[in-house]
Amino acid sequence: MGKAANIGKYQLGKTIGEGTFAKVKVAVNMETRENVAIKIIDKQMVISNRLMDQVKREISTMKLLNHPNIVRIYEVIATKTKIFIVMEYVSGGQLSDKFSYLKRLNESDARKYFQQLIDAVDYCHSRGVYHRDLKPENLLLDNKGNMKVSDFGLSILHKPGDLLSTACGSPSYVAPEVITNKAYDGSAADIWSCGVILFELLSGNLPFDERNLSSLYRKISKAEYTFPEWFTPSQRNIVSNLLNPFPRKRITVAEILEDEWFQIDYEPSIGIGQENLINLDNVDATFDDKVGENTAETDKTKSSNFINAFQLIAMSNDLDLSGFFEEEDNEKQKTKLGSKHSIHETIEKIQVAAKDARLSVERMNSSKVKLHEARKLTRCRSHFTVSAEVTEVTPTHCVVEISKSAGELTIYKEFCESLSNLLKGKLDESSTQLQNLSNLLKGELDESSTELQNSSTAVGYDENEVHKTER
């Protein structure tokens, strides 16, 4: 018996899947003893068939996503001949396997899988990711029976609202607008695929199933299908709305979440915002011939040493650092603000600004918070996620870095503006306090100038110092 091969800290095991250019093996993380799945890609085969962009897209997209119903990617290891994508191991097999021994699923199981699918798709769309190849073969089940979306090889990262043009996907699951070779909305196309999957889960058969591709596409374009007699009115209603051949009239994720049939026993799965932006240089490096053996991909983090450069300057209590740090990067949706408050006071200001913008606050640690949109009256979730991290320069000077990873730009700007005003408010507050002190002292002077003169040393009143501070 030969010795098991190792890739970095992973010991490879048996093959659990195989394709033209790649195979998937189960492996063990030797440090944690946890099972992982490793997709092994033949680099030369991919390059010769011009599939580099597809592999890069799959890696980049999966690095961006962190959701209970989406297969996680842990790291990428590249050698001169191979690319190893280390992923979450999902042991229950494909959802399609269930159809091999079950004619159809019971309504409760079908609804649960559909709910988890919609949660995953909603999360992807909120981050500008469109899968474009949703089908039971790409939906995996874990050992607890939960569904996870996999295989993002045909996915694309696009701004919400932008139209796509590449026709792709599996014929039986592709939307009518995709097969016409015209620009289409990736969100609506994914929703159509979800409708086909739901029909299949409830009936055990595809709504559109023809051997002849032309006949298949003709039925898809007209949404010609027949409901089995056991479909209930509520099932027919949601499927009909999902399989509307007109994308603009097709039901949206927000409307699906409000559907009565969908809401039965619904337990939402919430994704986690990724603060680190994708480093595409690392993804490109997987195809670099100069990559050495067992070179693991590492995310490069920005150095925070620039903070130290200001510490010498910031020793003065009168120094205003806002000019150095108040900047906004609209492209990356990051904002930096200067604060003349302690770190504790700054966090409190962030909480007040969040409340003004109708956001809920989640404390991550002593210097970092996450903000989420709080919506109590509806099940529609926008996956709005903002993080605010406070870096202490001196005990009375901080820098706040705000990053938006998902959600509406309007809410983000509203929060940033509110926080900026609150942080600047200390200067106005200080001036008011000094003015009040000055008025108080002047009043005391009018009442008893002799007493004030005799006690001026004890009081420590220095009018020049007050004016200096006001300035």
> Which positions make up the binding site for ATP?
39
Distance of alpha carbon 184 from alpha carbon 175, whole angstroms? 9
**Annotated catalytic residue, options 122, 133, 190, 259:** 133
Residues placed in the known binding site: 39
Exposure on the CB side of residue 364, measured as CA atoms within 13 A: 14
Instruction: Kindly give, in sequence order, each residue whose CB lies less than 8 Å from that of residue 318, ignoring residues fewer than 6 positions away.
Output: 469
Q: How many residues in total does the chain contain?
A: 471
Instruction: Kindly give, in sequence order, each residue whose CB lies less than 8 Å from that of residue 198, ignoring residues fewer than 6 positions away.
Output: 110, 114, 238, 239, 242
Residue 357 tokens read as: 């913008």
Asked whether the beta carbons of 148 and 142 are under 8 A apart, the reply is yes
Q: Which residues pair with 164 in a beta bridge?
A: 184
Q: Compute the C-alpha angle 356/362/364, nearest 5°.
A: 135
Q: Is 133 a catalytic residue?
A: yes
Neighbours of 390 (CB within 10 A): 23
| Residue tagged 């991919």 (tokens) | 46
Question: Concatenated DSSP letters for 26-75?
Answer: EEEETTT--EEEEEEEEHHHHHHTT-HHHHHHHHHHHHH---TTB--EEE
Distance of alpha carbon 67 from alpha carbon 275, whole angstroms? 14
Distance of CA 378 to the CA centre of its chain: 21
DSSP secondary-structure letter at 291?
P
Distance of alpha carbon 111 from alpha carbon 263, whole angstroms? 9
Instruction: Kindly give, in sequence order, each residue whose CB lies less than 8 Å from that of residue 61, ignoring residues fewer than 6 positions away.
Output: 129, 152, 155, 157
CA distances from 454 to 205, 322, 445, 449, 466 (A): 98, 42, 11, 9, 20
Residue 127 tokens read as: 């981050």
Distance of alpha carbon 29 from alpha carbon 406, whole angstroms? 32
Distance of alpha carbon 363 from alpha carbon 343, whole angstroms? 14
Asked whether the beta carbons of 278 and 63 are under 8 A apart, the reply is yes
Instruction: Kindly give, in sequence order, each residue whose CB lies less than 8 Å from that of residue 313, ignoring residues fewer than 6 positions away.
Output: 319
Angle of the 343-356 helix axis to the 409-447 helix axis, nearest 10: 120
Q: Compute the C-alpha angle 133/39/14, nearest 5°.
A: 120
Active site residues: 133
